[in-house]
Amino acid sequence: MKTHTICLALLYLVSGPLAGAEPPKLLATTPALWAIGVDPSMKTLSLKFDQPLRPGFWDWFGRDVLSPHSTGHTTIDAERTTCTVDVTLQPGKTYICGLNEKGIPGVGFQNDKGASLAPTYLVFQTAGTAAPQDAPPRVKAVTPPNGATGIDPSRVKAIVIAFDQPMGVKKHGLHLFENNKPVDISKIPASYSTDGTTFTLPYNFRPATQYRLELNNNSDIGFSRATRVPLWPAQVSFTTL
Amino acid sequence: MTHPRPNSKNESGVALALTLILMALIVIVVIAYLSNTRIDRATSVTYSARLRAQTIAESGLAAAIHLLRDNTRYGNYVTAMPPTSVANRYTELYRPHDPADTAHGVMVNDFLTLSNASGEFLISRASPTPAAPPIPQVDPRPTPEVVTTPTTAIALTPLGLTAADSYDFNQIFRMGTSATGRLVNPDGLPAYGQWIRVRNNSGELIGRYAFFIEDESMKVNVNSSGNNLALPSPTASPNLRVNDAAPVPATTPATQIQEIDPTAVLLAANRRAANTSLVALGNPNARLSTKLTMALLSNWTSIENYAHLLTVFSKDDNTTAKGWQRLDLNKIVADAEAIGTNAAKVTAATRIADWIRDAWTGPTVLSTLQYSQLFNDSRLRLQIAANIVDYIDQDNVPTDMGDVVPDGYTNTAPVIGIEKIPYLVAVEVIYQASNSTCPSPPVPGTYSATLKMKLQFRFLNLFDSALDPLDSIGKIEVKGVPVVTKNGPLTPPFDFEAETFTVTLADLKPVTGTGSCSTAGACIVPAGIDGTSDSGAKTVQTDWLKTQSATFTVSTSDQNPKFQAGQLTVKVFGKTGERLDETSIALNGNSTGYTGPNSTKDFLTDATPTNGSLQIASINLVYGTSFETGDPRFRGPLVNERWRNINRTDASLPLTTNRISLYIDKAELNPRASGMDWYDESGDRPLAYIRNGAMLNIGELGHISSAEYPWRTLYLQHPERPANTSQTGPKDDVPLRRSQSQDYVLVDLFRAGGTVSRSGALNINTQQQFLQPSATTATLPLHSLLLGIPVGATAPTILTQAAPAAAASPADRVSTGVNLLVTSTTIAQNSGTGTTPQNYRIASVSNKRNPLAGEATTPDNNPNRPFFQVGDLAPTLSRLISASEASDTSASSSRSKVVYSALRTNPQSTTTNQNYRKDFQVEQLFREVSNSITTRGNVFRVLYVGQTIKDIPGPGPTPNGQVDSQREIISEYLGEALIERQAVFAPEATNPDGIKTSDSVYKILANRVITE
C-alpha cells in the first residue's frame, strides 16, 4: 500500500499537479489577429496553440456573425497543436471568427483534459476596397483624452467616446484599468447617443490615479457597428489629479 | 529274638535318584527361568525400539507441522508441483519472504511476486551443514530457497536425493484385494524425504526420521465434487459444467465445486457406475465419514490407479494472495438491496471500489502506470464498482454515484452504473423548413420561411431479451439544441439553446409502428439477433416541439445555414426520477445541407412551396475516443467524450436517401465493425450480459463493463489476443489494453458467495498424473477436471494441423462438436510448434501479459512459474479457446493451432466457429471453473517415518554416525496424518472490510500407522 501511494505521488509530481488543467492558449494565427490587407485568395485559416488539442472539437465561428464562408472542414496536424479550416474570402470584407465564442466548458477548441480556449475573436480585413457597410468604425474622440494628465476627478464624471459611424447600441467593448488593475464596470449603466455615434459611461474617477481604457480586445468586440463590423482595438491612458 | 533288616543298600540309591531328579528339576526351573528372563528382555528391547521408532516418527510429524507453520501461517502462499519431467515426486511451496528474516521469515500481509519469492520443498531435508557428533541435534530445517531475479523459470532445483540418504515414501501397499497400490503415485517414481538424524546427548546416532507432504488440494475431493443433476445417458457424466449464461440443467449444483467430475479420472467404462455409487453415498460434504479414500474401494474399480488423484478431505480458504478474506460481492449487494435505496447501493459500490484499491494483489509499481489499468484510477474504480452492484442487484435501476472529478481533471463526470435497460445511442435534432419566400435560384435579399424542430432518439438493446422503455424510462431531458443561422442569426433567432425539453414516453412515438411509447409494447427494443449486425434498435420521435417563422438573408457571398457551436445535454431518468444516463455532446458548429452524404444544398432557400418541406438534422451518436463505436456503456473522464456530433446533416425526404432514415430501427453497422471485441465478424450481433441476480461464480466479473473503452469488459483473457478490427485506433488500442490489463487480479480479491473456508477447490498447480496400465504416456487429470474431458481408454491425442482428432470428445462440455484437447496450457510465443510445452505453468510474459513500454522486466509474469493467483488461469484458458483459430503456425501463439486443439466447427475442418473469438465465449471456460479452483490448500497429507538405529561399528572399529546397513535399523514406524491449517483471522487496519490471516493453528485431523 505504501509503495502504491508513493508511486502515485511520484507520478503526480512528475506529471505535474493537474497537468492539462491550464486551458490552451493561442500562440499564433493566420491571418494574425486584427490583420488588415489579408489576401482574399487565402483558402485556409489556421490557429497554433501552446499545447496539444483534443481532436474532433472546434468552434471557429461562434455565433456566426460576419464569419467567412466555410464548409467547416477542419484539420489538425500530427502534433495536434495547429488547426486549419477552409474558407472562401472576398476582398474588402471584415471577417470575424468567434473562436469558442460562447465560452461553454467542453465546447470548441480544448485540450485533452477538456479545458477550453477562452473566447477569442480572430478579426481581420481582406485587401480591397470595402463597401461603406463593411468599413470598420473609428474613434473620433475620447474624453478624457489620450495622454492627458491632471484630469480633475471632481469635474470629469464620465468616459465619453465618439465614433465616426453609428454603433450597435446593445453592447460596448470598454475595459477600464485603474493603476493597471481591471475595474468591473459591468454594473455601471452605459449609454449611446440617439444616433449611436457617442458612447458614455458615467464614472467617479479616483484622484491621483493612472487610468487606461481598452476599446475592444481579443476577447471582446462589443464596440461594433450595427452591421457588426467591429472597432479595431484602441487604448487610451490618462491620469487624474 | 531279632528280625532281619531290609536291604539298606538299596534304600540309599533311591535317595540319590530323588536328589538327582530334584536337582534336575531345579536346573530346569532355573534354566527355564533364565531363558524366560532372556526372552522377556529381548521382547522388551524390541518393544522399546518400536516405541522409539514411533516417537522418532512423530518427531518427524512435528517437524512437518513446523515446516508448514514456518511457511503457511499467514495464508499468503501457493503450493505447486514441479514439471512432470523431474525424476521424483515432491510438492513445492512458495511465499513472500521477509528480508529481515532470511532464515524462515514469511512477509506478513504481503503477497507472492517474483521479486519476493521464497520456495520450500514440502519434504524433510537435512541441514546443509549437519552437526558432527557428538554435537547435539541442531535445527534441521533448511533455509528456504530465495528465488533471486529469475529469468527463465521459478522452480526449485531438484535436490538430487537418492535412496542412500532418503526414504522413498512411494511404497507399495495393499489396498483391498490389490497389492500393487502405492502411497504416492502408481508410476513408481520415488517420493523422497531426506533422513534427519536423531542423536542422543552423547552424540550417538539413535534414529532418524523423514517426512513427505502433499497438499490435498492437488487432488479431486470426492466428498465435495460431483452431482447427479444431469439427465442420464449411456456415456454422460452427471456432472455437467454450468454455462452461467444459460444454465443446463436448469437446477444448478449448489456450488461450482460440485460440477467437477470426480469420475472423469476413471476409464470410460467405469465412470457411470462410479458416479452413481459416489452420489448414492450421500450429499456433498457428507458422503464419507472416513478421512481416507479407502471408502471408495468397493465402488471404484482399480482404485490403486486413481487413489493419488483423489481425496476426501481437501479445504482451502477463500482468501486473497495476501491472506485477506475475499470480499463477498453477493453479500455486499444483497445487504444493499435489503435497504433498497440508492444511498445503500452507493455505499456498497464505494466499499467495492475501496477494496480494489486497498486489497490489490497485483503489480502497482510499473514503469508506466496506465489509465487503462483500472485499479489506478479512482473514477474507474467507482464506475466498475457501480457496474458490479448493478450486475448483481435486481432492481434494474443504475447505481448513481454522483458526479466525480476524475483523477487529473478539473471538471466532473457522472458515475452511473450500467443496468439491463435500453440505452440511447442516437439523438437527432430535426429541423424542417417550409414556405420559403426565397426565389429559385436564390438572389441576394431577405426572405422568410417556416421553421420547425423535433427530437428523434434511437435506443439500443445490448441484451438477450426484448426491452420495453416503459419498464425503466420515465423521461428524457434535452437541453442545448443547436441554433440555426444563415449569414448570421435569423430574425427572430431560431434559438432554443437555453430551453430544456422534457420528453415523456407519452410524447414519444415509434417511427415505425403506432401508438405512443407510454403504451406497453409500442416501442419495444428487440434483442439483437446473432448474425444480424444491425438488429436490436428502435427509433422513436416527438412531434414538432417548435414552430416559428423567421427571416433570413441571402448575400452575395451566400452560405448555407449553420448550426452554431454549443453543448447538447441529454439526461435519461427512470420512472421515479432516478438518473439512468447523462451525457453532454459538444456541437462544433457545422455548415448544414439537406441532401447527400456531403450535406449540400440550403434547406432555407430551397423549401419553397413548390419544393415542399425540407429537413436537416443535428445528428449525435454514441462514440468513444475518435470514432463512433455504438457502445453506450463507454464512460470517459470527460462527460462530452461519450457522444459525438457528426458533420453530416442531410435528413430530408424521401426516406432511404438521408442520413437519419438509413438507421431507423437499426443499429449502425459501421460502429459495430469497430466493436473490436464483440463484433469480430461482420454480421455478428453478440449480447451483453447482466445477471440481475447473485453471481454464480467469480469469473462472471468478465461480464462487467469496464466502461474505460468501448466494448471493453474486464479482461479475463489472454493478453496477446489480437484486435479483430483494422479500424485505425482500435487496431492498436485494443492490443495495448489487453496486453497491459491487470483485470485478472480482481478475481483474487472477491468471491461470489460461498464460505470463507471451503472444501474441494482444486489446486490449479497440480501435476498429478494418471498413467494407464501398460501405457507409457501419463495424462493429466486437469483435462478432465477443468475441461471436462475423460481420461479415456487411449491417451488424448495432441492435435496437429495435419492430423486433427478424428472425433470430438463425447464429454466435451464446451460445445457440441467442439473438440478441445490439450496437454499444455502454455507455449512460448515464438515457439509456434510447441516443442517445449510447459505443463500447467505460465510460460512467459508474452503468454501472460506483454511488457509495457519501458518495462524491461515484468515482475510477475516473465519466467515460467506456478499460478500465483486463480485469475492467472483466465488467460491460459482463453488462449485454449481462441488460440487455434487460424491457419498460421508461425510466430504468434495467439494464432497457433498446433499445440492447442482446434476449436473447429468440425474437427476435421480448418474452419473455426467465429463466435469463439468473442469475449463472451473466450472467457467461458474460466467462468466455469473460477469458483472451484485455488492455488493453495489448507489440508496436508503428511507421510512420516521413523527408524530406531543402532550404530554398530563398521566398516571401521567405531560407530561412524551413519546407517551403513540394514542391520543397524532396529525398528521402523511409517505413519500417515492429515493436518489442517486453520486460519486465525483478525481485522486489517487499512480497510474496514479487511480481515487478514493473522496466524494459523494446525490440527491433526487423522493419524494412522501404515506399517511398523
Instruction: State which H helix or E strand residue A235 sits in.
Output: strand A234-240
Q: Please state, as a whole number, how many other Cβ atoms lie within 10 Å of the Cβ of residue B19.
A: 10
ipTM of the complex: 0.87
* CB-based contact, B409 to chain A, within 8 Å: yes
Q: Please state, as a whole number, how many other Cβ atoms lie within 10 Å of the Cβ of residue B96.
A: 23
| The residue to which cell 482404485 is assigned | B303
What integer pLDDT is reported at residue B243 of this predicted model?
Answer: 55
Cross-chain Cβ contact B488/A228 below 8 Å: yes
Q: Nearest Cβ partner of A19 from B364, B408, B488? A: B408
* CB-based contact, A13 to chain B, within 8 Å: no
Nearest-by-CA chain B residue for A87: B559
> Which of A87, A61, A63, A62 is CA-nearest to residue A73?
A87
Please report, as a single letter, which amino acid is at residue A156.
V
What integer pLDDT is reported at residue B824 of this predicted model?
Answer: 34
A74-76 β-sheet, strand order: A26-30, A44-49, A82-86, A74-76
Reported as a single tens digit per residue, the pLDDT across A169-222 is 999 999 999 999 999 999 999 999 999 999 999 999 999 999 999 999 999 999
**Integer Cα distance of B703 and B921 in angstroms:** 11
What integer pLDDT is reported at residue A18 of this predicted model?
Answer: 46
Query: Can you say how many angstroms the Cα of residue B963 is from the centroid of all Cα atoms in its chain?
Result: 50
What integer pLDDT is reported at residue A6 of this predicted model?
Answer: 43
What integer pLDDT is reported at residue B815 of this predicted model?
Answer: 29
Lookup: cell for B125: 531435508
Would you report the helix, strand and coil content of chain A in percent, each value rounded to 5? 5, 40, 55
Alpha helices in B359-471 (DSSP H): 378-392
Q: Nearest Cβ partner of A61 from B376, B556, B562? A: B562
Lookup: cell for B283: 450429499
Q: Could you tell me the pLDDT band of residue A76, with boundaries at 50, 70 and 90? A: very high
CA neighbours closer than 13 Å in the CB half-sphere of residue B323: 31
On whether the CB atoms of residues B378 and B407 are closer than 8 A, the answer is yes
For residue B567, which residues of chain A lie inside 8 Å, CB to CB?
Answer: 104, 106-107
Residues within 8 A of B (CB atoms), A 169-228 only: 228
On whether the CB atoms of residues A141 and A54 are closer than 8 A, the answer is no
* CB-based contact, B1006 to chain A, within 8 Å: no
Nearest-by-CA chain A residue for B557: A69
What integer pLDDT is reported at residue B266 of this predicted model?
Answer: 67
For residue A15, which residues of chain B lie inside 8 Å, CB to CB?
Answer: 408
Angle between helices B329-339 and B342-358 (to 10 degrees): 160
* CB-based contact, B116 to chain A, within 8 Å: no
* CB-based contact, B855 to chain A, within 8 Å: no
DSSP-assigned beta bridge partners for residue B977: B942, B1007
Give per-residue burial for A175-212: e unless 16+ CB within 10 Å, then b.
bbbeeeeeeebeeeebebeeebbbbbbebebeeebebb
| The residue to which cell 543397524 is assigned | B968
- Give, rounded to a whole angstrom, the gap between the first and last alpha carbons of chain B: 85
Lookup: cell for B127: 541441514
Q: Nearest Cβ partner of A70 from B489, B591, B647? A: B591
| Nearest chain B CA: its distance from A187 CA (Å) | 23
Cross-chain Cβ contact B409/A88 below 8 Å: no
Strand duo A210-215 + A120-126: pairing: unpaired
For residue B990, which residues of chain A lie inside 8 Å, CB to CB?
Answer: 1
| Nearest chain B CA: its distance from A100 CA (Å) | 8
Sign of CA pseudo-dihedral A64, A67, A72, A77:
negative
* CB-based contact, B638 to chain A, within 8 Å: yes
What integer pLDDT is reported at residue B309 of this predicted model?
Answer: 84
On the question of pLDDT at A97 being above 50, the answer is yes
Query: Can you say how many angstroms the Cα of residue B249 is from the centroid of all Cα atoms in its chain?
Result: 23
Which value, in Å, is the radius of gyration of the alpha carbons in chain B? Answer: 38
**HEC sequence for B503-520:** EEHHHCEECCCCCCCCCC
* CB-based contact, A41 to chain B, within 8 Å: no
Q: How many CB pairs under 8 A join A and B?
A: 109
For residue B324, which residues of chain A lie inside 8 Å, CB to CB?
Answer: none
For residue B369, which residues of chain A lie inside 8 Å, CB to CB?
Answer: 7-8, 11
Q: Nearest Cβ partner of B566 from A1, A102, A115? A: A102
| Nearest chain B CA: its distance from A117 CA (Å) | 14
| Nearest chain B CA: its distance from A162 CA (Å) | 27
Q: Could you tell me the pLDDT band of residue A62, with boundaries at 50, 70 and 90? A: very high
**Integer Cα distance of A141 and A213 in angstroms:** 13
> Which of B476, B500, B495, B453 is CA-nearest to residue A102?
B495
Query: Can you say how many angstroms the Cα of residue B877 is from the centroid of all Cα atoms in its chain?
Result: 9
* CB-based contact, B639 to chain A, within 8 Å: yes
- pLDDT, averaged in runs of 10, over chain B (1012 residues): 48 75 81 66 75 94 94 95 79 89 81 86 81 58 67 74 92 77 87 91 88 94 76 44 55 75 65 72 79 61 79 94 98 98 98 96 68 86 98 96 93 95 96 96 96 97 91 98 94 96 98 96 89 86 98 91 95 97 92 87 95 94 74 90 89 76 82 48 66 92 90 80 69 78 92 93 80 59 50 34 30 29 33 31 32 35 72 74 41 33 35 47 77 94 95 76 86 95 96 96 93 85
**Integer Cα distance of B249 and B229 in angstroms:** 7
Residues within 8 A of A (CB atoms), B 641-700 only: 644, 647
Residues within 8 A of A (CB atoms), B 179-208 only: none
Q: Nearest Cβ partner of A90 from B365, B485, B557? A: B557
Reported as a single tens digit per residue, the pLDDT across A126-169 is 999 999 989 999 999 999 999 999 999 999 999 999 999 999 99
For residue A228, which residues of chain B lie inside 8 Å, CB to CB?
Answer: 488
Q: Could you tell me the pLDDT band of residue A13, with boundaries at 50, 70 and 90? A: very low
